[in-house]
């Protein structure tokens, strides 16, 4: 298919011509970007500096030095500390945080506007395994949803090998699961209404205050023999969900396609870019 | 109670007519071909008694006079004046002769009556007018001509998609002999599927829709095919740079049965074949075939059978060593209709139509491989999508008296939607494998409507067209109902000047999913479903028409406001070719607004004719999950749109045409900056682009001039014309799209503009006999 489109594009290109034009794209100036996640055990953050759309001379990498603070309302909760090179400069705040409270992350750097964003840590999810079939590669589990809040869940099947935690693809026929990471090239390998996923989201619109039973399938033969497999369910703040969803959509998006409507990565930072979001996870061991 | 009874009797009496009224009715046809003529004006000069022929050339006029001087006029034909004594109802079939002069008084009368109709936002274009417009690569195109009218905008460089009053292309109902055509484009939108040589008449309705039309929000493009010459055998054709066409017509049984057959094919694939390597065969072509047969059983009964088939095919085949690979993209329409005209009496006319239409898009990949023992392994994979309709419709016209012209009818269509399936076939070591996977399940729906409308002469100055359109749509157990009122009124200030206003409520049950807006074959026709509600629109329009200098100059101004609800669009980043059901890739429940004002100045008479159109327009959309819920400009929100069309006849042997178009740049979403975030796993840095609000920026404006000159000559066998055309005469590099790239030798990124067509001269040899 891609080859056909390529050949067609080349045919059109024979007729087409192109030139560099002066087109004024406004420069919003350099701003701080923040990626920060709040959890009950603390918070982490990374800071970068944005650049103009046409700028090739500067980097946006997340090594920016900044002072980062966490506030609850006007009250300072603590300052993040740089923790070293993880491929980026990681700032952490190792301090227990309360669920359902709104926290604000602020980043200061001389010469830049103070960037800040707020979010909350949702309630810890409660779920239980109902049935696990390691031979068939099938897991049935139930999420028990609290009545009041509008909860958003992320479901991941993960395995631990040595100390590395990895995601493991699964499939589902449950239409209520939101999946933006389906990549199966061979649709015939899937059954009717079956979708594959690296992870899936679930909103409690239809079962708020009740419970929801979900079944997922996975291929057992591709799992490393010594791996420990977990099912992880995470509750997400709305900001975090919107951000993750937009990143998922960005994954397969072809920025070179001039006719596709571009994907705006979700942003809740004032005077800057990025995300402050909250999440709360629980893991249950599937096997061994 | 007595008051109500009197009121009812009064109302009823207006339909019963009066004792002294008599009816003149009949068919009007061309003297040479016997073709029945659409829109011929039949009226009594000095009075307001008048009518026009319908799509089948039928008229019926009811007048309270003993003697009338009837005047029959039609563009390009000699006017007939005839005194008729009316002592009883009279059947009067009329034969019109073509006028030798290019433009005569005939047109003036036609315009005069056109100003009288309450119908607004409607433009009729004859094929003769369309053929005066400069050709593109030797091809005259009906939709390219439509794009030159105010309120109609093109999708972009070279495309034949059209946008009417802020609507999207799928909101246009394109009818060919009464049958919907789902994809009206060839070659990715550069040509329309309509072969001008086979077309009799084109009518575009942009608003104030009469109740007989339904199913789309923004426009109706009604194209009537020629019927075929009843008298003698004729032909016409052309040989162009990339395509040729031939049309033959004539009687099968003189004055009873006629046929017309018209074919067209491009030959780009044949031209490039000698230049391809031996192991490669690749190319592209499109073809069209129109066939129509009609038979007159009696004055009261006539049958029409028409067919259109058209295909585009792109193919690429490589044969390297033992491996043979072939890729194909094919898409096309098939439409057919069987129509039966029946005249019950002089006042009641019926047209019964059975219709079939289908559109299919298919992408195929085939691989054949032979091992060293000669065993063959083959594998093929086809992706296909499409839509198919079968239907039955009855349209009746009843003309009880001069004050009322009633139209009513009903229609039923059964839709089959195939929104995407993949078919696999394999053969390995003699073992056959085949499978079909429906990415989106086939959907079947029932689509029915009934309507009634009355063209009502309320007073000498006020005339209205009032109607109701009721539609029912059933899919997967869910039924949608809709009652759509329609009304348009005309107030005649004087013989040359009228003011018109209209209201139309429309509902659309089928939608086109497109993430390019270019009218590509990959666009997907889908249905409203139990979860996706049908789209709706309400449009109001007000306008005035004023003619000057004895109707030589015609001017009109129309303002409109259209509100659209339950619109559908692809989600951000979604694509037609994905492994998921289309329903999960769309945003629904959108709202759209479009408003603007259209100006037209048109010269109808003289050596030089043509028009200037200008539209000031605004259109936007709002979806809960797009652009963070904020209202944004529609991609084809073009603020200013100008078109100039000029035709000048130097002599009987030489004439030329010129068009110039200007349009504000289409909207796009621009990148503003870049920044980095941690990915969803929190371990990888991902640089992302910060974009502007959706469609907040504009491409540079579009403008272009086309020229065409024709040299005509009569020959022993008929007539020939050499046409020389120049597309984009001053070589404007119009923007097709912009992109950002890094220069070859480094430095900051730059904005590049891609343009499609430079100046393109072409010629064609046109003949008729």
Q: Let me know: does B302 contact B340? Beta carbons within 8 Å.
A: yes
| B365 inside 8 A of chain A by CB | yes
| A184 inside 8 A of chain B by CB | yes
Q: Let me know: does B700 contact B755? Beta carbons within 8 Å.
A: no
Q: Let me know: does B53 contact B39? Beta carbons within 8 Å.
A: yes
CB-based contacts of A153, cutoff 8 Å, min separation 6: A125, A143, A201, A202, A203, A204, A233, A234, A235, A236
CB-based contacts of B18, cutoff 8 Å, min separation 6: B64, B401
B504-554 pLDDT, tens digit each: 999 999 988 876 555 555 677 888 988 889 999 999 999 999 888 877 888
**Residue A232 CB neighbour total at 10 angstroms:** 18
Distance, CA of B294 to chain centre: 24
Cis peptide bond upstream of B264, omega within 30: no
Enter the tokens of residue B157: 């460089």
Q: In terms of Cα–Cα distance, which of A260, A28, A52, A273 is closest to B668? A: A260
Q: Percent helix, strand and coil across chain B, each rounded to 5?
A: 10, 60, 30
DSSP, collapsed to helix, strand or coil, labels residue A244 as helix
Please tell me which of the candidates B628, B751, B758 has its beta carbon nearest to residue A20: B751
**Cα dihedral value A236, A242, A244, A246, nearest 10:** 170
B349-366 pLDDT, tens digit each: 999 999 999 998 888 888
Residues of B with Cβ-Cβ distance to A182 under 8 angstroms: 579-580
Q: Rg (Cα) of chain A, in Å, rounded?
A: 22
pLDDT, residue B5, reads 44
In B72-158, alpha helices (H): 105-114, 127-130, 142-146
Q: In terms of Cα–Cα distance, which of B204, B123, B210 is closest to B556? A: B123
pLDDT of B751 higher than 80: yes
Interface test with A, best of B380, B680, B691, B696 (most A CBs within 10 A): B680
Q: Let me know: does B720 contact B756? Beta carbons within 8 Å.
A: no
Q: Which residue of A has its CA nearest to B740?
A: A54
Q: Let me know: does A171 contact A199? Beta carbons within 8 Å.
A: no
A190-224 pLDDT, tens digit each: 766 788 889 999 999 888 889 999 999 988 777 88
Q: Let me know: does B226 contact B126? Beta carbons within 8 Å.
A: no
Residues of B with Cβ-Cβ distance to A54 under 8 angstroms: 740, 748-751
Q: Let me know: does B440 contact B583? Beta carbons within 8 Å.
A: yes
Enter the tokens of residue A233: 């369910």
Label each residue of B15-27 as H, E or C: HHCCCCCEEEEEE
More confident of the two residues B422 and A146: A146
| A14 inside 8 A of chain B by CB | no
Q: Which residue of B has its CA nearest to A61?
A: B676
**Between vectors from CA A201 to CA A197 and to CA A206, what angle results, nearest 5°?**
130
Note the ipTM here: 0.90
* Pairing assessment for the beta strands B586-603 and A126-133 based on DSSP bridges: unpaired
B203-250 pLDDT, tens digit each: 999 999 999 999 999 999 999 999 999 999 999 999 988 889 999 999
* Pairing assessment for the beta strands A170-172 and A195-197 based on DSSP bridges: antiparallel
pLDDT, residue B110, reads 45
CB-based contact B683 A86, cutoff 8 Å: yes
What span, in angstroms and rounded, lies between the C-alpha atoms of B74 and B111? 10
How far apart, in Å, do the first and last CA atoms of chain B sit?
70
**Judging by beta carbons within 10 Å of its beta carbon (0-12, 13-18, 19+), is residue B618 exposed, middle or buried?**
middle
pLDDT, residue A4, reads 52
**Judging by beta carbons within 10 Å of its beta carbon (0-12, 13-18, 19+), is residue A204 exposed, middle or buried?**
buried
pLDDT of A228 higher than 90: no
Q: Which residue of A has its CA nearest to B699?
A: A23
Phi-psi domain of B500 (left: phi exceeds 0; alpha: psi -120 through 50; beta: other): beta
Residues of B with Cβ-Cβ distance to A31 under 8 angstroms: 673, 675
**Judging by beta carbons within 10 Å of its beta carbon (0-12, 13-18, 19+), is residue B279 exposed, middle or buried?**
exposed
pLDDT band at B429 (very low <50, low <70, confident <90, very high): low
**Which residues are registered as beta bridge partners of B492?**
B498
Q: In terms of Cα–Cα distance, which of B531, B523, B683 is closest to A86? A: B683
**pLDDT, mean of residues B584-609:** 91
What span, in angstroms and rounded, lies between the C-alpha atoms of B656 and B316? 40
What span, in angstroms and rounded, lies between the C-alpha atoms of B614 and B639? 10
In B619-700, alpha helices (H): none
What span, in angstroms and rounded, lies between the C-alpha atoms of B278 and B80? 65
Chain mean pLDDT for chain B: 85
**Residue B284 CB neighbour total at 10 angstroms:** 19
**pLDDT, mean of residues B482-508:** 93
pLDDT band at B108 (very low <50, low <70, confident <90, very high): very low
Distance, CA of B608 to chain centre: 27
Residues of A with Cβ-Cβ distance to B363 under 8 angstroms: 1, 4
Q: Let me know: does B740 contact A54? Beta carbons within 8 Å.
A: yes
* Predicted structure pTM score: 0.84
| A25 inside 8 A of chain B by CB | yes
Residues of A with Cβ-Cβ distance to B744 under 8 angstroms: none
What span, in angstroms and rounded, lies between the C-alpha atoms of B310 and B333? 5
More confident of the two residues B431 and B40: B40
| B736 inside 8 A of chain A by CB | yes
| A227 inside 8 A of chain B by CB | no
**pLDDT, mean of residues A93-118:** 95
A122 phi/psi in degrees, rounded to 5: -75, 170
Residues of A with Cβ-Cβ distance to B753 under 8 angstroms: 18-21, 23
| A residues 68..97 contacting B (CB < 8 A) | 86-88
pLDDT band at B573 (very low <50, low <70, confident <90, very high): low
pLDDT, residue A252, reads 63
What span, in angstroms and rounded, lies between the C-alpha atoms of B515 and B496? 46
Enter the tokens of residue B485: 């009122």
pLDDT, residue B557, reads 96
More confident of the two residues A1 and B625: B625
CB-based contacts of A202, cutoff 8 Å, min separation 6: A143, A152, A153, A154, A155, A176, A177, A178, A212, A214
Residues of B with Cβ-Cβ distance to A22 under 8 angstroms: 751
Chain A: nearest CA to B52, how far in angstroms? 45
Give, as one character, the DSSP assignment of residue B664.
P
CB-based contact A50 B690, cutoff 8 Å: yes
Residues of B with Cβ-Cβ distance to A15 under 8 angstroms: 756-757
Number of inter-chain CB pairs under 8 A, A vs B: 204
B651-663 pLDDT, tens digit each: 999 999 999 999 9
Q: Let me know: does B243 contact B139? Beta carbons within 8 Å.
A: yes
DSSP B141-207: -HHHHHTTSTTEEE-STT---EEETT--GGGEEEEETTEE-S--EEGGGTEES--GGGEEEEEEE-S
DSSP B645-656: EEEEE-SSSEEE
**Judging by beta carbons within 10 Å of its beta carbon (0-12, 13-18, 19+), is residue B688 exposed, middle or buried?**
buried
What span, in angstroms and rounded, lies between the C-alpha atoms of B286 and B332? 9
pLDDT band at A2 (very low <50, low <70, confident <90, very high): very low
* Pairing assessment for the beta strands B94-96 and B22-30 based on DSSP bridges: parallel
**Which residues are registered as beta bridge partners of B479?**
B474
Q: Let me know: does B376 contact B368? Beta carbons within 8 Å.
A: yes
What whole-number percentage of chain A has pLDDT above 90?
50
Question: In Å, what is the CA distance from A210 to each residue of A99, A143, A146, B589, B667?
Answer: 21, 8, 7, 28, 46
Residues of A with Cβ-Cβ distance to B749 under 8 angstroms: 53-56
pLDDT of B380 higher than 90: no
B286-311 pLDDT, tens digit each: 999 999 999 999 989 999 999 999 99
**Between vectors from CA B385 to CA B381 and to CA B387, what angle results, nearest 5°?**
150
| A222 inside 8 A of chain B by CB | no
Interface test with A, best of B523, B678, B699, B736 (most A CBs within 10 A): B678
CB-based contact B673 A12, cutoff 8 Å: no
pLDDT, residue A260, reads 67
What span, in angstroms and rounded, lies between the C-alpha atoms of A117 and A238? 13
DSSP A110-150: TTSPPEEEEEEPPPPPEEEEEEEETTTTEEEEEEEPPSSS-
What span, in angstroms and rounded, lies between the C-alpha atoms of B399 and A194? 59
How far apart, in Å, do the first and last CA atoms of chain A sit?
43
B110-159 pLDDT, tens digit each: 444 555 677 888 888 888 888 888 887 778 888 888 989 999 988 776 56
Q: Which of B55-64, B572-581, B619-628 has the highest mean pLDDT?
A: B619-628
Q: Let me know: does A231 contact A199? Beta carbons within 8 Å.
A: no
What span, in angstroms and rounded, lies between the C-alpha atoms of A4 and B282? 11
């Amino acid at each position: 298919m891609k080859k056909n489109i390529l050949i067609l594009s080349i045919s059109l290109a024979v007729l087409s011509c192109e030139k560099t034009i002066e087109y004024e794209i406004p420069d919003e100036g350099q701003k701080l970007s923040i990626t920060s996640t709040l959890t009950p055990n603390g918070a982490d953050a990374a800071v970068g500096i944005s650049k103009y759309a046409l700028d090739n001379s500067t980097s946006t990498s997340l090594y920016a030095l900044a002072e980062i603070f966490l506030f609850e309302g006007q009250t300072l909760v603590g300052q993040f500390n740089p923790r070293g090179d993880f491929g980026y400069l990681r700032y952490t705040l190792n301090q227990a945080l309360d669920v359902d409270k709104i926290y604000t992350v602020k980043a200061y750097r001389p010469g830049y506007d103070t960037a800040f964003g707020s979010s909350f840590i949702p309630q810890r999810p409660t779920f239980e395994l109902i049935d696990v079939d390691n031979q068939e590669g099938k897991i049935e589990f139930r999420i028990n949803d609290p009545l009041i809040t509008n909860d958003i869940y992320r479901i991941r099947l993960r395995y631990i090998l040595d100390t590395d935690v990895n995601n493991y693809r699964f499939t589902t026929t449950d239409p209520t699961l939101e999946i933006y990471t389906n990549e199966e090239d061979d649709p015939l390998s899937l059954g009717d209404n079956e979708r594959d996923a690296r992870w899936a989201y679930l909103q409690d619109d239809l079962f708020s205050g009740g419970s929801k039973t979900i079944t997922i399938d996975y291929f057992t033969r591709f799992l490393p023999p010594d791996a420990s497999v977990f099912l992880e369910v995470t509750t997400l703040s709305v900001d975090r969900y919107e951000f993750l969803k937009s990143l998922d959509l960005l994954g397969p998006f072809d920025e070179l396609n001039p006719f596709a409507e571009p994907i705006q990565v979700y942003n809740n930072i004032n005077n800057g870019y990025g995300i402050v979001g909250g999440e709360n996870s629980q893991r249950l061991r599937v096997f061994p | 109670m007595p008051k109500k009874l009197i009121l009812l009797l009064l109302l009823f009496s207006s339909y019963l007519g009066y004792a002294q009224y008599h009816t003149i009715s009949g068919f009007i046809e061309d003297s040479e071909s016997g073709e029945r003529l659409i829109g011929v004006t039949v009226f009594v000069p000095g009075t307001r008694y008048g009518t026009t022929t319908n799509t089948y050339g039928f008229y019926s006029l009811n007048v309270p006079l003993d003697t009338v001087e009837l005047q029959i006029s039609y563009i390009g034909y000699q006017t007939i004046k005839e005194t008729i004594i009316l002592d009883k109802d009279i059947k009067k079939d009329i034969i019109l002769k073509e006028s030798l002069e290019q433009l005569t008084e005939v047109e003036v009368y036609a315009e005069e009556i056109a100003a009288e109709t309450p119908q607004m936002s409607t433009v009729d274009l004859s094929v003769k007018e369309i053929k005066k417009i400069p050709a593109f690569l030797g091809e005259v195109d009906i939709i390219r001509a439509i794009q030159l009218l105010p309120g109609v905008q093109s999708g972009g460089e070279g495309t034949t998609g059209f946008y009417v009053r802020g609507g999207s292309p799928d909101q246009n109902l394109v009818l060919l002999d009464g049958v919907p055509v789902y994809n009206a484009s060839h070659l990715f939108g550069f040509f329309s599927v309509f072969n001008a040589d086979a077309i009799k008449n084109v009518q575009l309705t942009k608003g104030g829709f009469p109740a007989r039309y339904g199913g789309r929000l923004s426009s109706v493009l009604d194209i009537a095919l020629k019927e075929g010459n009843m008298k003698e055998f004729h032909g016409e054709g052309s040989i162009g740079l990339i395509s040729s066409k031939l049309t033959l017509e004539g009687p099968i049984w003189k004055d009873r049965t006629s046929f017309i057959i018209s074919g067209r094919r491009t030959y780009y694939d044949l031209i490039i074949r000698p230049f391809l390597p031996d192991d490669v065969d690749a190319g592209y072509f499109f073809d069209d075939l129109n066939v129509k047969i009609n038979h007159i059983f009696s004055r009261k009964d006539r049958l029409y059978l028409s067919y259109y088939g058209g295909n585009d095919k792109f193919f690429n085949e490589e044969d390297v060593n033992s491996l043979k690979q072939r890729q194909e993209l094919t898409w096309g329409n098939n439409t057919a209709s069987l129509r039966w005209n029946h005249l019950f009496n002089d006042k009641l006319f019926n047209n019964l139509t059975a219709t079939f239409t289908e559109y299919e898009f298919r992408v195929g990949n085939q691989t054949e491989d032979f091992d060293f023992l000669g065993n063959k392994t083959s594998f093929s994979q086809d992706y296909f999508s499409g839509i198919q309709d079968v239907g039955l419709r009855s349209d009746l016209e009843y003309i009880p008296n001069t004050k009322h012209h009633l139209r009513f009818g009903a229609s039923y269509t059964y839709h089959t939607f195939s929104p995407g399936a993949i078919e696999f076939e394999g053969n390995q070591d003699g073992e056959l494998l085949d499978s079909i996977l429906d990415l989106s399940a086939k959907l079947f729906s029932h689509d029915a409507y009934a309507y009634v409308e009355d063209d009502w002469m309320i007073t000498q100055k006020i005339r209205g067209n009032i109607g109701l359109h009721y539609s029912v749509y059933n899919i997967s157990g869910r039924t949608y109902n809709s009652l759509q009122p329609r009304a348009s009124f005309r107030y005649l200030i004087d013989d040359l000047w009228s003011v018109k206003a209209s209201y139309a409520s429309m509902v659309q049950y089928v939608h086109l999913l497109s993430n390019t807006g270019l009218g590509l074959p990959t666009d997907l026709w889908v249905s409203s479903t139990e979860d996706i509600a049908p789209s709706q629109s309400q449009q109001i329009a007000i306008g005035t028409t004023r003619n000057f200098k004895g109707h030589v100059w015609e001017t009109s101004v129309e303002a409109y406001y259209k509100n659209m609800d339950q619109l559908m669009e692809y989600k951000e980043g979604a694509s037609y070719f994905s492994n998921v059901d289309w329903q999960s890739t769309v945003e629904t429940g959108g709202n759209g607004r479009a408003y603007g004002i259209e100006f037209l100045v048109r010269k109808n008479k003289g050596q030089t004719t043509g028009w200037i159109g200008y539209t000031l327009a605004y259109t936007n959309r709002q979806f809960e999950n797009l652009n963070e819920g904020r209202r944004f400009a529609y991609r084809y929100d073009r603020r200013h749109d100008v078109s100039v069309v000029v035709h000048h006849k130097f002599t009987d042997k030489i004439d030329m045409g010129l068009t110039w178009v200007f349009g504000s740049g289409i909207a796009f979403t621009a990148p503003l900056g870049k920044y980095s975030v941690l990915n969803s796993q929190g371990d990888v840095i991902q640089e992302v682009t910060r974009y502007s609000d959706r469609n907040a920026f504009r491409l540079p404006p579009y403008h272009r001039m086309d020229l065409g000159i024709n040299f005509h000559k009569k020959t022993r066998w008929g007539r020939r014309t050499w046409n020389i055309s120049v597309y984009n005469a001053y070589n404007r590099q119009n923007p097709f799209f912009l992109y950002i790239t890094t220069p070859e030798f480094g430095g900051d990124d730059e904005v590049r503009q891609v343009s499609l067509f430079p100046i393109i001269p072409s010629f064609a040899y046109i003949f008729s006999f």
